């Protein structure tokens, strides 16, 4: 198979932990051809969606870990699969890329994850589709409603709908003297919609990343345990990742979400679960493959390639 990857700059990869690299390595081991491109390489010209893509060769070394042939303009439909692995932020350039990829899909390209599904599933808002699994939550830009929510629950989390890696996530207590400025900052004085969630004390045991591949759960999660003095369970915020077998509740959530998300065209999804509650549905560029594989021996990238190879 010819597999094309839409990625961030290759020189920025941390290959000891990068999930996209793990997928590339597994694909190369199976004899598939790899190609790499970036967002800016996508074009719609003469009615065809194409990209300046270069053949990618893995060297097996730490530095340099790759060799990239000269890029040539190639219609996306000529690849057997195109993997959208550009990291957030999910800004308008990301949206424009999904428009181009959706056009390519109509021309016969196989895109993972499906562009429309990436747009439709905001990683924070998507939990509203599965409210039976969530802690009490609120989405609004109104300060009065946020204050009512805080008064009701006493200890809450506030976060932007377009954040990543724990950026701009605040824990707020009713007695907090900075409530006003936090709400004003996050909502831009009522001009930006945010999410509030009741604080879940089980965060002390980790923010679990439960991976779904082809609608099925990976049998291990990665519990991201906040560092001392933190409430954010994000590896980017200094959390420690510990692989664990799925709990009965993890499996219940995965069983309910896996099939419909896969049917929507989401081949790879990362569910965030704290305690018994679903907190986010990650669809842009889910990670944690290498950490789970290194700690458990389960070949997550192998499961991913199996799903790509079997997809119609």
Catalytic residues: 124, 159, 209, 224, 232, 272, 280, 282
59 CB neighbour count, 10 Å cutoff: 10
Q: Are strands 2-6 and 33-37 parallel, antiparallel or unpaired?
A: parallel
**Helix segments in the chain, DSSP class H:** 19-29, 92-106, 115-120, 143-153, 179-187, 248-263, 289-296, 300-310
**Helix segments in 154-297, DSSP class H:** 179-187, 248-263, 289-296
Q: Are strands 155-160 and 170-173 parallel, antiparallel or unpaired?
A: antiparallel
169 CB neighbour count, 10 Å cutoff: 19
Instruction: Please work out, in degrees rounded to the nearest 5, the angle formed at the alpha carbon of residue 36 by the alpha carbons of 30 and 38.
Output: 150
Distance (Å, whole) CA 188 – CA 104: 37
228 CB neighbour count, 10 Å cutoff: 5
Distance (Å, whole) CA 241 – CA 5: 26
Distance (Å, whole) CA 274 – CA 42: 37
Distance (Å, whole) CA 242 – CA 220: 10
> Does residue 30 sit in helix, strand or coil?
coil
30 CB neighbour count, 10 Å cutoff: 13
């Amino acid at each position: 198979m010819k597999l094309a990857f839409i990625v961030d700059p290759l020189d920025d990869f941390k290959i000891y932990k990068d999930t996209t690299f793990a997928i590339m390595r597994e694909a190369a081991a199976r004899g598939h051809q790899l190609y790499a491109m970036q967002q800016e390489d996508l074009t719609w010209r003469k009615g065809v969606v194409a990209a300046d893509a270069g053949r990618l060769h893995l060297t097996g070394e730490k530095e340099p870990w790759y060799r990239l042939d000269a890029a040539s303009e190639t219609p996306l439909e000529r690849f057997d699969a195109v993997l959208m692995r550009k990291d957030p932020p999910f800004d308008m350039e990301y949206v424009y890329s999904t428009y181009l990829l959706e056009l390519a899909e109509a021309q016969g390209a196989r895109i993972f994850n499906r562009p429309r599904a990436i747009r439709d599933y905001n990683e924070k808002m998507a939990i509203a589709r599965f409210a039976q699994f969530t802690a009490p939550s609120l989405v609004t830009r109104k300060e009065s409603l946020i204050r009512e929510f805080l008064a009701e629950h006493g200890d809450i989390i506030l976060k932007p709908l377009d954040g990543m890696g724990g950026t701009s996530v605040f824990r707020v207590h009713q007695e907090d003297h900075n409530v006003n400025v936090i709400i004003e900052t996050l909502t831009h004085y009522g001009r930006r919609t945010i999410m509030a969630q009741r604080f879940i004390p089980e965060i002390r045991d980790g923010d679990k990343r439960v991976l779904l591949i082809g609608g099925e759960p990976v049998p291990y999660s990665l519990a991201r345990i906040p560092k001392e003095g933190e409430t954010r369970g994000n590896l980017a915020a200094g959390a420690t990742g510990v692989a664990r077998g799925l709990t009965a509740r993890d499996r219940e959530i995965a069983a309910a979400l896996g099939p419909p998300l896969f049917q929507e065209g989401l081949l790879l999804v990362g569910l965030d679960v704290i305690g018994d509650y679903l907190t986010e549905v990650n669809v842009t560029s889910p990670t944690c493959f290498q950490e789970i594989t290194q700690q458990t021996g389960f070949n997550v990238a192998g499961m991913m390639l199996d799903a790509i190879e079997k997809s119609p």
